[in-house]
Structures are given as structure tokens and as C-alpha cells.
Amino acid sequence: MTGISPQLLQDIEAVVGPNGIIEDEARGPGPIVRPASTQEVSRVLKLCNEAGQGVVPMGGNTTMVQGTRRVRGEIALSLERMNAIEEVDVASRTMMVEAGAILQVVQEKAVEHGFLYPLDLGGRGSATIGGNISTNAGGNRVIRYGMTRDQVLAVEAVLADGTIIPMQGKAIKNNTGYDLKHLFISGEGTLGVVTRAILRLRPLPTSENCAWVSVPSFAALTDFLGYMDAAAAGTLSSFEAMWAEYYEFITGDKTPHKPPVAYGAPFTVLLETMGSDPERDQLRFEEMLGEALEKELISDAVIAKNEAERKALWEIRDDVFQMGHVAPLWAFDISVGIADMDDYIKALKAKLTARWPDHNLFTFGHLGDGNLHVIVAVGDGSEETHHVVEELVYGGVRDLKGSVSAEHGIGLEKRGYLSFTRSPEEIALMKQMKQLFDPKGILNPGKLFMDEGTMPEMASPLNSAAE
């Protein structure tokens, strides 16, 4: 158990009731406080702030960067009892939800009303809207609809001292000074607890056309992306590129998946358009791929003929868990300019080969967003090896002015590398903002920034002096 004051726990229990505090080892040691309303969040935070008690906001716990890990005797503040979908406003095309609402439930509710909530990612069954907002989650359709930031019209949040920052309205346009909601979007729970949001809904597409194609070169890959984006006239919704090593592994002997297209091409792509005229959209999709074949932008294509085939293709793309077969491994979520991607991966491969000739490097990602998921399987899985691999991966990103985190956030995992992407001036300003919003540092302490409480094993040997 932790060093949390019994008196404080009693006071919190008086706010949230006996069902409002639980323990669940699967989500880490220590109490999980589960308020049922914004008012309760406010009262709990006020108590914790007065006591100087650390609090880790928790959604569906699908963080990829140890964003909810408790390392300093914090309590977790879970929004799981605040999961109501409060309103669907058909005329305004908005949905008002509590922050604990599950992404998939929100997606399904939107469909019931003839709308699309476009954010989609593999953790949809557990991830919450509050977690999506706090990480500015991306996912598979960013190329068309943008990231979570683009889906959120208003945010209600509670500051560390219990102050409730109310929601703005439903209007898309609101130019009245600093747009404070954006500080909570991607704030990783360090500036406030998101309690409610108004989400923007889009028209529900009635056609989805999906194909898996082979691409003969990286130049053809970027040309194909440009061609499809223009030819599909704004309806291209996914463009998931896979380097051959990843494609051949994920559809190989060790997995249940069969390769949709033959091996041999350096790249394959799973792409999808979403439209509103099923017959014409399908014909147009086939035409576009035919033209791309003629132009030699692609060398092979398999088109999903029905929903079952479409789902089967996406299952392959979503099944990153098969990578467990090559553990120990480290997975990275980075971005660099599209034009730099090929050289970046080639240079990384050369550096890994020089050090570990029999390593594995798997690359795939949301190409249109400049976002690559890079998986390195090498060595014994030791922390020392991990640091060397991190420095090779992130060093190249820094040189290209890319981002050490494209969509998963910083959490505990990447804070040693924040300065590879953010300037000292930016980091200083971010720390001033943290000080302003949370002067006692009770909200998600130790996340995002390296600070005096840093655990030594989390620090990067390369970077510990940099921040």
C-alpha cells in the first residue's frame, strides 16, 4: 500500500461514497477513486490539493507510454462512473458526453443517429473520450478527419485546486482570445481532469471501399498517396503503409493471417475511401486503382468485395499483438516529413545492422500523417539495450525535426526525449503553464517532464543533461 493519509482517504470516501474507492492490481497498486460527477471530481481534487496528494487521472488505461503508471504513491482518479452520453444534437451535429464514455460506445451512438464519430483506433473498446482528449489521439482516419483536437468543440475540466472550468458552446467558430480547451487536449492529465466534452459529428458515409495494394518503390508510394488523395476528392480516409519486413511477418507462418497480395514488393498499403454513393463510389474506386496500375504507381491490388472481406483486411492491420512473437521488442510512435521517411528508415536500419547484424526492424504507419510505428526487436531486452535503441530511433527524428511522439503522448516513457522535439524555450513555457495550472504539482506528477523526482531508470543517459 502507499503512504496516502488515512484521514484523506476517509474524507474522499465521504465525497464519493464507499463504492467510489476500489483497489484493482491490474491497474496498478493503490486506491482508485471513482467520482460520479464533476462536482465530486472537484471536491476530491480540492482535498488532494490541500493535502499535497498526487493524483493520476485514468481513463481506459490503454496508454502506450505509461501515462497512468503510479510511481510516487499517487491515487488514481478514474472517470469510469462518469460515462454518460448526455445528448445527441442532430441539428448542431454534436454529442455531449462525460469523459469516461468509451470510444466504441460513442461511435455506435453516433451511427444510431445517422452520424459518424470519426476517431478510430485499435483500443476503441476500452479507451475513453477523456483519455482520447488528454492524448489528442490520432488513429486510422486522421488523413481525412484530423486528430481528436479536430473532433472536440468544447471541454469541461477541473483544475488541481478543484476549480471547474465550464464548457464553451457548440459553435465551431469561437475566436475570443486564448482557446483554453486546447491546453487540456493533449495535456496528458497534467493541467486538469477532463470531465465532459462536446464532440463534433460528421455525416455517416454509406460506402466504404477498401483495398490492399503492392507498391514498387518509395517514390511510387508518395506519388500513389498524392494521386489517390486528389482523385478521391477528399474521400480518402485511410492510407496505412507497411514496409515489406512488417507485411511479411504479420501475414507469415507465425500468425493466423494470409497475405492479401503476393510477397516481393518493398511496400504494401491498406487504403480506404468513404463516400455517399455506394454504386458509383465502388466503380470510381476500381477505376482509380486501375489508373494507378497503368501509371505503375502500384503493381498489384486486392479489393474487398464485401464487408466481411473489408473487415478481414482491417483485422490484419489492427493485429499488432502478433508482434509478441518477436519479443523482446520496443515499439516507437514517431513522425517525420513524408519525403524523409525512406531515408530515415534506411539510416536507422544501417545503424542497427552495424551494432546488431541479426536485429529485426518492422515499420508501418499512417503515411499520409507522416506517422510511423517502428518496432525494433534486438538483443536481450535489457534497459541498457533499450536506451541505445531509443537513442538511435529518436536521434534520427531529432535530426529531421520530427516528433518523438506522433500520437501516443509522452507519459513516463518518452519524457527523457521531449527536448529532441521541443526547444528549451518551449519546455520552459510549458513548465510555467504547469506551475500556473497546478502550483503544487499534484496532477500526474513526473509525467511529461523530467524533474527532480525522476526515477533514475527512466532517465535517458544521452538526454538527462538536456532538460
144 CB-near residues (< 8 Å, 6+ apart): 118, 234, 235, 236, 237, 238, 274
Cβ closer to ligand FAD: 396 or 409? 409
Q: How far is CA 58 from CA 98, 239, 268, 339, 455, in A?
A: 14, 31, 37, 37, 21
Give the DSSP letter of residue 140: T
Of 444, 445, 449, 450, the residue at the interface with ligand FAD (CB under 6 A) is: 444
Cβ closer to ligand FAD: 170 or 196? 196
Give the DSSP letter of residue 128: B
Our finding on whether 135 is near ligand FAD (CB under 6 A) is: yes
Our finding on whether 188 is near ligand FAD (CB under 6 A) is: yes
Q: How far is the CB of 64 from ligand FAD (least distance, A)?
A: 5
Which cell numbers hold the place of 338? Answer: 513524408
Our finding on whether 122 is near ligand FAD (CB under 6 A) is: yes
* Contact yes or no for 122/320 (Cβ under 8 A): yes
Q: How far is the CB of 216 from ligand FAD (least distance, A)?
A: 27
Our finding on whether 63 is near ligand FAD (CB under 6 A) is: yes
Task: List binders of ligand FAD among 364-423 (CB under 6 A).
Answer: 407-408, 411
Our finding on whether 76 is near ligand FAD (CB under 6 A) is: no
Our finding on whether 60 is near ligand FAD (CB under 6 A) is: yes
Of 44, 85, 99, 261, the residue at the interface with ligand FAD (CB under 6 A) is: 99
Of 30, 54, 130, 368, the residue at the interface with ligand FAD (CB under 6 A) is: 130
138 CB-near residues (< 8 Å, 6+ apart): 121, 147, 148, 366, 369, 371, 406, 407
Q: In whole angstroms, give the CA distance from residue 397 to residue 50.
A: 41
Of 42, 49, 94, 132, the residue at the interface with ligand FAD (CB under 6 A) is: 132
Cβ closer to ligand FAD: 331 or 347? 331
Three state DSSP letters for 74-109 = CEEEECCCCCCEEEEECCCCEEEEECCCEHHHHHHH
Contact residues toward ligand FAD (CB under 6 A) are 56-64, 67-68, 79, 99, 121-123, 126-128, 130-132, 134-135, 137-139, 188-189, 193-194, 407-408, 411, 444, 447
